[in-house]
Amino acid sequence: MSGIEGFHAVIPAGGAGTRLWPLSRTGRPKFLVDMLGSGRTLLQGTVDRLLPLTGPDRLMVVTGRAHRDEVVRQVPELVDGELDQVLAEPSPRDSMAAIGLAAAVLAQRHGPETVLGSFAADHVVDNQDIFERTVAEAVAAAHAGYVVTVGIKAAGPSTAFGYIAEGDQLGVAGAPTARHVTTFTEKPDADTAWTYLATGRYCWNAGMFVVAAGVLLDHLHTQLPTLHDGLRQLAAAWDTPQRDAVLDAVWPTLTRIAIDHAIAEPVAANGGVAVIPGLFGWDDVGDFDSLAALLGAGDPDGPGGDPPRSATLGDDDLVLRIDADDAFVVTTGRAVTVVGLDEAVIVDTPDALLVTTRAHAQKVKTAVDAWRARGATSLL
Amino acid sequence: MSGIEGFHAVIPAGGAGTRLWPLSRTGRPKFLVDMLGSGRTLLQGTVDRLLPLTGPDRLMVVTGRAHRDEVVRQVPELVDGELDQVLAEPSPRDSMAAIGLAAAVLAQRHGPETVLGSFAADHVVDNQDIFERTVAEAVAAAHAGYVVTVGIKAAGPSTAFGYIAEGDQLGVAGAPTARHVTTFTEKPDADTAWTYLATGRYCWNAGMFVVAAGVLLDHLHTQLPTLHDGLRQLAAAWDTPQRDAVLDAVWPTLTRIAIDHAIAEPVAANGGVAVIPGLFGWDDVGDFDSLAALLGAGDPDGPGGDPPRSATLGDDDLVLRIDADDAFVVTTGRAVTVVGLDEAVIVDTPDALLVTTRAHAQKVKTAVDAWRARGATSLL
């Protein structure tokens, strides 16, 4: 396939990834890191996945100023064309400002009918074919005026994701699997997650949104007019010599809000949001438990399976496991020996070592907070 | 006190200490390492403990040729005098050859009545006063012709040590607490160890022997005449230009045997061995469990005690513990973060990292074997 006509992909590349510290650092967050040992960073993997849908001219990254140079180094094709496709934010202003800026710039450059899809820079997908067909359906529904999300089939009652409740079929040509979204819910507790799963009508919110630029900006105009006006003002100046001056004046005034709260939730309540079930493999590489599983650690038949599988990020010849077959080890050059620790997670970097377990993966974030509180800024 | 008249201390400084890898290495075994973070290596600590009993002229170290230079660097007073007090073995020949060589050289230099005491280079003792009084009793019993050992009051049914069974009181002047030894036993299984403890007549064999040089050599002449003759030949040549030639010729022929098997067991059976109870604190720093306890890790009131105590070897400011208060960490300069691992042992050295638990401390040895089997000689 030679892409989806007129479709633009936007990759918001932000977030600290503190649950993947010390692999992910403030200066080099997880999307800039080769987290899977594949030879490509998560950002490059995301670009590789979207390029077949867009080609290099219809792909845009929105990132922080501090990361722009590295983004350009990793994805040089984004600055090869006539227009600069790496938008740099002076400071983090949450996902609505990032995606809204992209939408406003695309509307300015290509007109309000332009359909854009937003896909996080640090997720992984494992079936390209299904992914492409899903996005194509989403684009069809977006052309019909909907804000479209892709819902991930829940693999279990996770409390790490928000959930999307599916309603009736949408009935739009080119989007046979599309349904209305009745509600978006925040990350639930475990009991609520079980209840959702039991209904069979909930899927995970992976933060993928596909929408016409003009439709998104109109919703924003209704919900948050000041934010809308600021983004329009920025877009008008973007490809002119006034860009930096307007950015300096306007950017700090923008409301910090997630696109889910700003658009998805209120518009869903009015029937304006659709969902396409995403039946491809998906992972947000959220923490070391998730990363270990992605790299094959542990046993697919559950604890005690024989033999458990090992996973190493780095040179496995440097790793020795004794009574710890399923220990997940990240090494950047030193010999690592693990004796007698099941489900261990060991992340060895040149200046910082983390030792934890897969069950404690979500707590790694608190370690970053604690080092920050100690003033150890070089470790962050 | 100005020492015990005529008493010589001998420190056999050998053993690989593989259960303390990667702190202890082939090229720098544990006795050459500052294992307690005290600023003194275990060898230096042993010398510090013995010097008040002997002064620098009556202290001798027997070590491997590869370690002689480092021993001299750490304890320069041993080569300051007229006679060289660092005996270097061309190859390891077990404890009987090491102590027997020292005894033969001392008999040659100072006469057969010379009483020597042998104390391992890598043990720690925590009450100097009681230690000195114990050794003084042992020397008194040695002057009466006994092979004298110091028995450590068993702190529990350890399976890591051999045991000494005490018999009747010895009745020798100057050694009021001395008893006969009825038997030496090898490291027992746990049930046997419990049985020993229940009798109240067993103590741990810490490998400390005090004996007149002539008595030791006479026993050796009876038990292992060839070994005896070889050691006498070496001693006769030691302080002459022929030392190296005789070493090259004789050393490789010496029987490899531990002093326990060569002398202590058979002589005990004939009533010739005495034991002085050693009521000082003692530890053989045998593995990371033992080292962690020595450095205060864990809670004295048992698991779940609040708060458990932390122990760090190295700069504790580099260590962050979250839900892992009692994790034992060795750091040589990197930041170490432990999240959610009770009883963890983390040993971070510049080229090798070990992660294990206190319960697996004895298994660390197998990691060294495994790296050797992989040919990773630089790590050993």
CB contact under 8 A, A334 and B322: no
In tens, the pLDDT along A55-73 reads 999 999 999 999 999 999 9
Query: Over the stretch B54-68, which tens digit does the pLDDT of each residue have?
Result: 999 999 999 999 999
Measured in angstroms, the CA of A357 and the nearest CA of chain B are apart by 7
CB contact under 8 A, A338 and B356: yes
For residue A335, list chain B residues with Cβ-Cβ distance below 8 A.
Answer: 351-353, 371, 376, 379
The number of beta carbons lying within 10 Å of the beta carbon of residue B82 is: 7
Which candidate from A320, A338, A367 shows the least CB-CB separation from B371? A320
* Interchain proximity A322–B366, CB inside 8 Å: yes
Burial of A342-364, coded b for 16+ CB within 10 Å and e otherwise, reads: bbbbbbbbeebbbbbbbebbbbb
Please judge whether B352 and A335 are an interchain contact, meaning their C-beta atoms are less than 8 angstroms apart: yes
- The pLDDT score that the predictor gives to residue B16 is 82
Give the percent of chain A with pLDDT over 70: 97
Instruction: Give the integer Cα–Cα distance in Å for B100 and B104.
Output: 6
What percentage of chain B has pLDDT greater than the value 70? 97
Q: Stretch A174-199: mean pLDDT, rounded?
A: 94
CB atoms A341 and B357 under 8 Å:
yes
Residue (of A234, A154, A225) closest to A195 by Cα position: A154
Specify the pLDDT at position B308.
67
Helix (H) or strand (E) holding B198: helix B190-199
User: How far apart (Å, rounded) are the C-alpha atoms in residues B133 and B175?
Assistant: 10
How high does pLDDT run on average in chain A? Answer: 94
User: In this complex, do A353 and B335 lie within 8 Å of one another by their Cβ atoms?
Assistant: yes
- A238-269 pLDDT per residue, tens: 999 999 999 999 999 999 999 999 999 999 99
**pLDDT bucket at A1, cuts 50 / 70 / 90:** very low
- The minimal CB distance from A353 to the residues B334, B340, B350 is found for B334
Q: What is the pLDDT of residue A2?
A: 64
Contact B271, B171 (CB under 8 A): no
The CA distance from B303 to A127, in Å, is 48
pLDDT at B31 over 80: yes
Helix (H) or strand (E) holding B377: none
Q: Which residues does residue A74 pair with via DSSP β-bridges, in sequence order?
A: none
A304 to A296, A341, A342: CA distances (angstroms): 15, 13, 10
The span from the CA of A230 to the CA of A225, in Å, is 9
> In the predicted model, is pLDDT for residue A301 greater than 60?
no
**What pLDDT was estimated at residue A309?**
80
State how far the Cα of B87 lies from the Cα of B105, in Å rounded to an integer. Answer: 9
Helices (H) and strands (E) in chain B, counts: 12, 17
What does the pLDDT average to over A178-192? Answer: 94
- Between B193 and B308, the higher pLDDT residue: B193
Option in A337, A351, A360 nearest B353 (CB): A337
CA dist., res. A293 & res. A334, Å (int) = 23
For A119-136, the pLDDT digits (tens) are 999 999 999 999 999 999
Mean pLDDT of A270-275: 97
Does the structure show a pLDDT above 80 at B302?
no
Q: Which residues of B touch A370 (CB under 8 A)?
A: 320, 322
Question: How far is residue B110's CA from residue B8's CA, in Å, rounded to a whole number?
Answer: 10
Judged against a pLDDT cut of 60, whether residue A76 lies above it is answered with yes
Q: Would you list which residues of chain B are within 8 Å, Cβ to Cβ, of chain A?
A: 22, 317, 320, 322-323, 327, 334-341, 344, 346, 348, 350-357, 359-360, 363-364, 366-367, 370-371, 374, 376, 379
A341: which chain B residues are within 8 Å (Cβ-Cβ)? 341, 344, 355-357, 360
Q: Which of A21, A288, A354, A356 to mutate to test the interface with B (most CBs of B within 10 A)?
A: A356
Residues of A in contact with B362 (CB under 8 A): none
Cα of B160 to nearest chain A Cα, Å: 19
Residue B340 is nearest to which of A317, A363, A371, comparing CB atoms?
A: A363
Q: How far is B316 from chain A (nearest CA, A)?
A: 13
pLDDT above 80 for A307 = no
Angle at alpha carbon of residue A54, lines to A50 and A58, rounded to 5°: 110
CB B53 within 8 A of CB B7: yes
> Which pLDDT tens digit goes with each residue over B68-91?
999 999 999 999 888 999 999 999
Q: Percentage of chain B surpassing pLDDT 90?
A: 90
- Give the H/E segment covering residue A257: none
pLDDT confidence of residue B379: 95
In whole angstroms, give the CA distance from residue B261 to residue B186.
10
How close is the nearest chain B Cα to the Cα of A288, in Å?
Answer: 12
Question: What is the pLDDT at residue B296?
Answer: 85
Complex-level ipTM:
0.87
Give the whole-angstrom CA distance, residue B210 versus residue B207: 10
Q: How confident is the model at residue B306 (pLDDT cuts 50, 70, 90)?
A: low
Q: Report chain B's mean pLDDT, rounded to a whole number.
A: 94
Angstrom CA distances, A317 to A321, A330, A342, B80, stand at: 11, 12, 20, 48
On the CB side of B69, CA atoms within 13 Å amount to 3
CB atoms B340 and A354 under 8 Å: no
What is the dihedral sign for C-alpha A179, A185, A189, A195?
negative
Q: For every residue of A56-95, which 3-state class applies, written as one string?
A: HHHEEEEEEHHHHHHHHHHCHHHHCCCCCCEEEECCCCHH
Can you give the pLDDT at residue A316? Answer: 93
Would you call B320 and A371 a contact, using CB atoms and an 8 Å cutoff? yes
| Min Cα–Cα distance to chain A from B24, Å | 15
Which among A323, A335, A367 has CB closest to B320? Answer: A367
Query: Which pLDDT score is estimated for B79?
Result: 92
Using CB atoms, which residue from B335, B340, B374 is nearest to A356? B340
Is residue A299 predicted with pLDDT exceeding 80? Answer: no
Query: How confident is the model over B151-164, as a mean pLDDT?
Result: 92
Angle at B149 between CA B62 and CA B265, to 5 degrees: 95
Contact indicator for B346, B338 with CB cutoff of 8 Å: yes
- All residues of chain A having their beta carbon less than 8 Å from the beta carbon of residue B360 are 323, 339-341
DSSP-derived pairing of the beta strands A282-283 and A124-125: antiparallel
Decide if B357 and A344 are in contact by the 8 Å CB cutoff: no
CB-side neighbour CA atoms (13 Å) of A64: 15
- Residue A305: pLDDT over 70: no
| pLDDT over threshold 90, residue A176 | yes
Q: Say which range, A62-76, B285-299, B363-377, has the weakest mean pLDDT.
A: B285-299
In what helix (H) or strand (E) does residue A241 lie, and over which residues does it extend?
none
- Predicted confidence (pLDDT) per residue in B277-292, tens digit: 999 999 999 999 999 9
> Considering only CA atoms, which of B153, B140, B170 is closest in space to residue B277?
B153
The nearest CA of chain B is from the CA of A83 a distance in Å of 44
Phi-psi region of B230 (alpha: psi -120 to 50; beta: other; left: phi over 0): alpha
What is the rounded distance in angstroms from the CA atom of residue A337 to the CA atom of residue A319?
6
Angle separating helix axes A128-143 and A42-54, nearest 10 degrees: 60
Q: Which residues of B touch A379 (CB under 8 A)?
A: 335
For residues B190 and B300, the model is more confident at B190
Count the Cβ atoms, other than its own, within 10 Å of residue B249: 14
Which band of pLDDT confidence, cut at 50, 70 and 90, is reported for residue B47? very high
CB atoms A334 and B351 under 8 Å = yes
* DSSP assignment of A265-323: HHHHHTT-EEEEEE-S-EE---SHHHHHHHTT-B-TT-TT-SSPBPEEES-GGGEEEES
Predicted confidence at residue B1, as pLDDT, reads: 44
